[in-house]
């Protein structure tokens, strides 16, 4: 990704993100690491690891109801360069919504090792394929809503992406190479009151 007009740190930077997602016998896992390269400054990193346990898979019972497809125990570990880790734990639901590959809502207790006390966080993640004529697109992203924790103010991070399936358009394998835009809106970034970031980012995505 390449973006500019960041509120904190260097105004321009490049970011390389490595993601991994998988399902297994008792749940699913999602993890990513951002390698951040600000123009003219030392690089940094940020990592998240989010394993979840499915109540349906663990018990063999059907926890679906209405639009809820499954109920899960949800956890996340977060760590950035030069920062203490943050631990999140709580519950989640996967929703069965037409036209979405997935739509999940997670509700956490958020505990930063660098701050006193705890707070709440909710995270929504989604992925929806779109077809216009012969062209394929993906509308995906996530949003985090977090309460106040010690000296950190409540903050909201919303990151939608709209990606074009360039591999499909070029006559190659579909769902492998995407080009598009990611928009990042972060109110009270890092919990710092008054620091609100609104950044468009060019994104190239390669799926393995």
Read off the pLDDT of residues 176-208 as tens digits, 9 standing for 90 and up: 999 999 999 999 999 999 999 999 999 999 988
| Range(s) of the domain holding residue 137 | 56-206
3-state secondary structure of 202: strand
CATH code of the domain covering residue 159: 2.40.230.20
Residues 6 or more apart from 98 whose CB is under 8 A from it? none
Report which of 149, 154, 128, 150 is spatially closest to residue 139, judged by C-alpha positions. 128
- Would residue 110 count as lying in a domain? yes
**Strand ranges for 39-134 from DSSP E:** 44-54, 68-80, 86-95, 102-112, 119-132
- Would residue 1 count as lying in a domain? no
- Would residue 24 count as lying in a domain? no
3-state secondary structure of 189: helix
For residue 10, what pLDDT band results from cuts at 50, 70 and 90? low
| pLDDT tens per residue, range 96-150 | 999 999 999 999 999 999 999 999 999 999 999 999 999 999 999 999 999 999 9
Q: Which stretch of DSSP H or E encloses residue 57?
A: helix 55-59
């Amino acid at each position: 990704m390449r973006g500019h007009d960041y509120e904190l740190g260097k105004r321009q930077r490049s970011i390389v993100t490595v993601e991994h997602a998988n399902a297994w016998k008792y749940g699913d896992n999602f993890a990513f690491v951002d390698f951040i390269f600000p123009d003219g400054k030392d690089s940094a990193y940020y990592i998240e690891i989010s394993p979840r346990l499915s109540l349906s898979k663990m018990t063999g019972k059907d926890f679906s109801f209405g639009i809820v497809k499954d109920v899960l125990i949800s956890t996340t570990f977060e760590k950035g360069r030069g920062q203490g880790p943050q631990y999140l734990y709580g519950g989640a639901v996967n929703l069965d919504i037409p036209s979405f590959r997935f739509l999940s809502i997670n509700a956490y207790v958020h505990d930063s090792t660098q701050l006193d006390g705890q707070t709440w966080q909710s995270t929504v993640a989604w992925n929806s394929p779109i077809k216009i004529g012969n062209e394929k697109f993906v509308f995906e992203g996530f949003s985090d809503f977090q309460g106040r924790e010690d000296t950190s103010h409540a903050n909201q991070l919303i990151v939608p992406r709209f990606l074009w399936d360039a591999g499909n358009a070029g006559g190659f394998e579909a769902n492998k190479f995407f080009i598009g835009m990611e928009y990042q809106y972060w109110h009270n970034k890092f919990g710092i009151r008054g620091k609100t970031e609104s950044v468009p980012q060019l994104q190239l995505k390669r799926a393995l």
